[in-house]
Structure 1
Amino acid sequence: MGDYSDSVLDRRELSEHTQPEDAFCSIKISHRRKRPSRDGLGAVVAGRYVILDVIGRGGMGIVYRARDLKTDRIVALKAPRYERARHGTDFAQRLICEARALARVVDPNVVRVLDLVFEDAQQRRPVVVLEWIDGTPLDHEMEEPSVRGRRGIEIAMQLVQAISAVHRAGLVHRDVKPSNVCVSRERDGHCVRLVDFGLACPAQSQKDAEDLASCVGNARRASVFMGSASYMAPESMLDGRDTPSADYFSFGVLLHELFLGSRPRPVLERLHCALYGDDETDACVRQSGIPLPLARVISETLQWNTNSRLADSREILSLLREASRELPPAHEIGVD
């Protein structure tokens, strides 16, 4: 079975995100007719990526740790579960959309897509090749009290930079939450990366994003209200509007959880409280004892009205820097 000469990802897009030795753009179809094990361990995908182990599994997809035979480095592979791919679900299409969305974003705080290949000759099982991040999801990092101090501010600032980069690429992430933020320890400190672009969509109509918009639109029709309800903005949940401002609302929920130890009331519950004048979210944040600049970021990113919501990355970063100066390195907020 012959190789395909063109990648699903545009060659120009890939070249912007990978080093020359990484720019392996051709799609290769695996010649293996049988999987070596139930989980595919030991299989060689597209003649290049050896599956080492399973690092994540969901109802629709699976994530592997693999070795790139060409560069001898560790990568992550994201693919639909075999039974899902066999029945041609929309998840496979969303994976392709995710790879294309990621290829548009260039930022050290956003996970890099390295390749997009197909494992089967019918091209029903796409495999997205991502950089391997040796880190911890933020929801696990939150278990450490020290993250509520200056370290948490540093994490928040890098996340703002990632969200801003996504928006500059003309996209809305639509699923900003702690489990989609990976924190790795590097020589110069902690590095934060925003991951999982499976629900990303264009922020506005753009001629150069028509294919992506169509692709995501098809997936969206089959995934209305998919996402994490606890982090969704009111406009996303109530009328399906996807704006950059919605990502900052999700960011505000994340900050509330990070520094106050819990998420604010869910959107629908807050709506009920607001109707009866009983939404105390702002008051709780401002009376929590955290630095006022940080309280302002949390309170104003959680505003219902998008016109009143704080969604300017430069202003948010400025306030976070101010808050950082008010916290000693080892300060623990709300911990006795």
Structure 2
Amino acid sequence: MVIGETLLDRYTVQALLGEGGMGVVYRAVDERGHPVAIKRLHAEVATSPELAARFEREASAQAMLAHPNVAGLHAVGVTDEGALFFVLEYIEGHDLATELEHGPLVPLRAVTIAQQVLSGLHHAHQFGLVHRDLKPENVLLARTEGGEQAKLIDFGLVKMLTDVLGSNECQRLTRTGVVFGTPQYMAPEQMLAEPVDARTDLYAVGIVLFEMLTGQRPFEAEEVTELWQAHLNAPVPTLGELDPGLKLPDLDAILATLLAKRPDERFASAHAARRALESLAL
């Protein structure tokens, strides 16, 4: 993919926006001059014909998502070189990971972002779509006339790639720098290769919210095996343990529920989790 190239006869690539573990993101414009974002998957994963066909099928489900907290998916395609790409709503702003490089957020802002993330998740869950890789890099903070708006990207991408390529190949590619899932945000059932559902995403929301509030995740370790053991067995620290200025017992209780080891001990839905956050007096 090169600057000036036109894809699907209507999207003209203008500039490189950034690169992540799975792919490269470009800014482009459609035939009317409206901006879009194009994400091209890395060659290691984007050359499978089966993957391209699967992605096009999955895209029809993702295209049904129409929610202010989910980035819209416009189209899916394959370049002449066989690279798989998808065209997304262009979002003026940056991701939450970039925002957190400047330190933790004030509680009201952190909780507001979490509420918006949960709203987007609840909408997607109604269509049977589970994100499976929710993390700050997949939460974009859009600048709008009404203020800040969180938007989710990359729904179901990890599952799609794992289903087509196989878990062993995904693990091999992860070791070479292509990321399939992020251990720091994985729920215990994901680590144990057990069935996942909407409550798996709620666990990741708990990790992200904790990180927004304190500047660090509740479970940290140098080695992945140690990290997994912490997710599986370690109790959730209270916010006050990391920051004495964050003695918020009601918020601690919500985080403990989001981060329960067993899915059936978490909130029943993203909507229920959002309502709990809305009840806080911050």
Same-fold call, TM cutoff 0.5 = yes
Kindly report which structure 2 residues correspond to 1:241-252, keeping only aligned pairs within 5 A, or say none. Answer: 241-252=195-206
Unaligned runs of 5+ in 2: 175-179
Query: Aligned-pair distance for 1:73?
Result: 0.4
User: 1:147 is matched with which residue: 83, 91, 105?
Assistant: 105
User: 2:77 is matched with which residue: 99, 117, 140?
Assistant: 117
Counterpart of 1:76? 37
The secondary structure found in structure 2 opposite 1:281 is: coil
* Distance of aligned partners of 1:290 and 1:317 in 2 relative to their CA distance in 1, 3 Å threshold: farther
Counterpart of 1:187? 145
Q: Deviations over 1:29-80 (max 9, x none)?
A: xxxxxxxxxx5111111221111011123465322111112x2101111223
The 8 Å contact of residues 187 and 231 in structure 2, kept in 1 or not, is answered as no
The 8 Å contact of residues 94 and 219 in structure 1, kept in 2 or not, is answered as no
Counterpart of 2:95? 137
Q: What RMSD in Å do the two structures reach over aligned CA positions?
A: 3.1
Query: Aligned-pair distance for 1:119?
Result: 3.0
The secondary structure found in structure 2 opposite 1:78 is: strand
What TM-score does the superposition give when structure 2 sets the normalisation length? Answer: 0.81
Distance in 1 separating the partners of 2:158 and 2:26: 22
What TM-score does the superposition give when structure 1 sets the normalisation length? Answer: 0.70
Counterpart of 1:45? 7
Q: Identity of paired residues, percent?
A: 30
Counterpart of 2:236? 281
The secondary structure found in structure 1 opposite 2:157 is: coil
The 8 Å contact of residues 122 and 271 in structure 2, kept in 1 or not, is answered as no
Counterpart of 1:217? 163
Unaligned runs of 5+ in 1: 1-38, 202-212, 327-336
The 8 Å contact of residues 13 and 26 in structure 2, kept in 1 or not, is answered as yes
Distance in 2 separating the partners of 1:45 and 1:270: 42
User: 2:275 is matched with which residue: 309, 318, 334?
Assistant: 318
Counterpart of 1:54? 16
Counterpart of 2:184? 230
Distance in 2 separating the partners of 1:149 and 1:247: 21
Counterpart of 1:297? 254
Distance in 2 separating the partners of 1:217 and 1:191: 32
* Distance of aligned partners of 1:228 and 1:93 in 2 relative to their CA distance in 1, 3 Å threshold: farther
* Count of residues paired in the alignment: 268
Letter in 1 for 2:10: R
* Rg comparison, structure with higher value: 1
The secondary structure found in structure 2 opposite 1:230 is: helix
Distance in 2 separating the partners of 1:146 and 1:156: 14
